[in-house]
Amino acid sequence: MPDRAPQPAPPISPRSEDYAVYEAVPLPMTAMPRNQPGGTYNAPHSHAHGQLLYASSGLMRAATEQGLWFLPPGRALWIPAGVVHDQLMLGPVQMRSIYIDADLAAQYGERCRVVEVSKLLRELILALIAEPIEYVLEGRNAHIVALILCELQSARSFALELPWPKDRRLVAVCEAILAAPEQSQTVEYWADQVGASARTLIRLFIKETGLTYRQWVQQVRLTEALSRLEQGEAVGRVASQLGYASASAFSAMFRTVLGETPSEYVARRALS
């Protein structure tokens, strides 16, 4: 009897990009890949699980009622269960989200925070992504899940939230600063632009963001600087582009906030 010709393998269906599918899986942790083009906006939503919002490539912005976060590949945003948030892709993004059962997620706190993604954590996330949605929680997979939980517990946090105001005049000022963080305008200049007194803007910044005008601008520049350093730009060039008088002035600000110089940060990221 002649041998049968080999039959072609059935086509592999693409992995779901619907987070509801992942949250319905009875596992302590699931991992969802989603590739989105630049400009894609994911409308406000929340999850029953805690979420580690991470992009293995590309830059995205996430927002809640409390603030904004900008996330290049070296950083991820921890979002507790139930927190309403949106996402904007600032370029093509390969998003790799981790969803953690709410009971387990409680250990990571009730506030959003930016965490550093080490090379080990990145590889663990990608390893879980490579498994089926409903993977078997034993052996290697059990170790991957346990290590992700451990890495999250010890991951370095960054104070990189941009608290977002509600007053329409202050919103206009903050949007203009975000659009051009390299500009060095005084609070008096912005007061003229939005039809308010400088004293009013100074008061509103503290009341609605908890930061002074200078502190808020510094947060914007620090966030932008980290994004540019992650993309490989030289420290001196970043300092110049963001309006600092010198690289040393930029390094002093960076060290004050993050406890290390830009050069030390870049070197440590390369080794992590």
| CATH number for position 99 | 2.60.120.810
200 located within any domain: yes
Number of domains in the chain: 2
What whole-number distance in Å separates Cα of residue 221 and Cα of residue 10? 51
In a domain, 7, yes or no: no
Whether residues 25 and 124 share a domain: the answer is: yes
**For the sheet containing 157-158, what is the strand order?**
29-36, 93-100, 50-57, 75-79, 113-116, 157-158
Chain-wide mean pLDDT for the chain? 89
Q: Say how far apart CA 117 and CA 133 lie, in whole Å.
A: 22
Query: Which range of residues forms the domain containing residue 266?
Result: 164-271
Residue 9 within any structural domain of the chain:
no
Token reading at 221: 């520049």
Answer yes or no: do 26 and 119 share one domain: yes
> Do residues 116 and 156 touch, judged by C-beta distance below 8 A?
yes
Q: Tell whether 3 is covered by a domain.
A: no
- What's the half-sphere exposure (Cβ side, CA atoms, 13 Å) at 90? 15
Taking only the tens place, the pLDDT of each residue in 84-142 is 999 999 888 999 999 999 999 999 999 999 998 988 999 999 999 999 999 999 999 99
**Within this chain, do residues 146 and 36 fall inside the same structural domain, yes or no?**
yes
pLDDT at 9 over 60: no
Do both 79 and 135 map to the same domain?
yes
Tell me if 81 is assigned to some domain: yes
Which of these ranges, 27-31, 84-88, 176-180, has the smallest mean pLDDT?
176-180
Q: Flag whether pLDDT at 13 surpasses 50.
A: no
The residue among 141, 128, 113, 138 whose CA lies nearest residue 32 is 128
Residue 272 banded pLDDT, cuts 50, 70, 90: low
Q: Are residues 260 and 198 in the same domain?
A: yes
Q: Which residue has the tokens 């975000």?
A: 178
Q: Is the pLDDT of residue 239 over 60?
A: yes
Instruction: Say if residue 32 is in the same domain as residue 141.
Output: yes
Q: Are residues 73 and 120 in the same domain?
A: yes
Based on the domain organization, do 41 and 96 belong to the same domain? yes
Question: Which residue type does 127 have?
Answer: A
Cα gap 186→145, rounded to integer Å: 49
Q: pTM surpassing 0.85?
A: no
**Strand, helix or coil for residue 204:** helix
CB 105 within 8 A of CB 111: no
pLDDT more than 70, % of the chain: 94
Comparing 41-50, 134-143, 156-165, 233-242, the range with the smallest average pLDDT is 156-165
Q: Is 10 contained in some domain?
A: no
Mean pLDDT, residues 9-34 taken together:
79
Say if residue 137 is in the same domain as residue 197.
no
CB 19 within 8 A of CB 53: no
| Residue 212, domain CATH | 1.10.10.60
Given pLDDT bands bounded at 50, 70 and 90, which one contains residue 214?
Answer: very high
Q: Are residues 148 and 186 in the same domain?
A: no
Same domain assignment for residues 106 and 136: yes
Of 107, 133, 158, the position where a domain reaches its end is: 158
- Residue where one domain finishes, among candidates 132, 158, 184: 158
Could you tell me the pLDDT band of residue 11, with boundaries at 50, 70 and 90?
very low
Examine the fold and report which residue of 130, 158, 186 is the final residue of a domain before the chain moves on.
158
Which residue has better confidence, 23 or 146? 146
